[in-house]
Amino acid sequence: MWFTGLPSSGKSTLAGLLGSALAARALPVEVLDGDEVRAVLNQGLGFSREDRDENIRRIAWVAKVLTHHGVIAITAAISPYRQARERARETIGRFVEVYVDCPVEVCMARDIKGLYARARRGEIAQFTGVSDPYEPPAQPEITVHTDRETPQESLRHILQHLETQGWLQVAMDAVLVPHYLTEQLRHRWGGEFERRLVEILAGYVHPEEDALPPAEQEQVLARLRALGYVD
């Protein structure tokens, strides 16, 4: 989930709301806020086009790693240049672009940090929306209009798209299928579940032996109990 838009358009607010909504469905999720990532991962980068593109490249790499491990990555970064966002799409693969559309005048009015005012006074150079350009997405999967929608209305719009396009089902399957299969095996084997599971693991860990030594069996069972696979 890649949120893009002008400063103070509402990207971080919506990314946080979406993260909470998905976490409430027991889905693994991580929010990568642009300001926080810059402070931790991208220290030393400035705001030239080259540095901005490098910032997005690094965020995209982190999102790719998270996605590869089954975590829903939600990014909230201005990412002002269309080409950099397209490279991020290619890097990550499963990519939903959310354009947080808000007129610059509204963004200025809601800017509690006063950054737009400082940029207009020349105190901040290369500020997107004032002295640096922002290139809106040509074909984003989702567009929300935060100047005329409440955050909850925009969130419902985003969730509706994810549901109708099947993204939430894909995410739920990734979490639930392993648990579902385990329950099916437990039901099929009944009281034999633990013994059969240990035999399978024994054959994998020690293929030339009939079973794990008793002490190792208990270690395996303790781990399986901790994970909720056996009682």
Q: Which residue has the higher pLDDT, 59 or 181?
A: 59
| Residues 6 or more apart whose Cβ sits within 8 Å of residue 61 | 91
How far does the chain reach from its first CA to its final CA, in angstroms?
Answer: 37
Q: Does residue 146 have a pLDDT over 90?
A: yes
Residue 47 pLDDT: 81
Number of C-beta neighbours around residue 152 at 10 A: 10
Residue 169 pLDDT: 77
**Residues with catalytic function:** 79
Integer Cα distance of 22 and 172 in angstroms: 10
pTM of the model: 0.73
Residue 172 pLDDT: 67
Domains, the chain, ranges and CATH?
A: 2-165 (3.40.50.300), 175-227 (no CATH)
Answer yes or no: are the C-beta atoms of 63 and 88 closer than 8 Å.
yes
Residue 197 pLDDT: 61
Integer Cα distance of 71 and 9 in angstroms: 26
Residue 207 pLDDT: 47
Q: Which of 18-32, 95-109, 136-150, 192-206 has the lowest mean pLDDT?
A: 192-206
Q: Does residue 167 have a pLDDT over 80?
A: yes
| Percent over 70 (pLDDT), the chain | 71
List residues bridging with 142 in a β-sheet. 98
Residue 180 pLDDT: 47
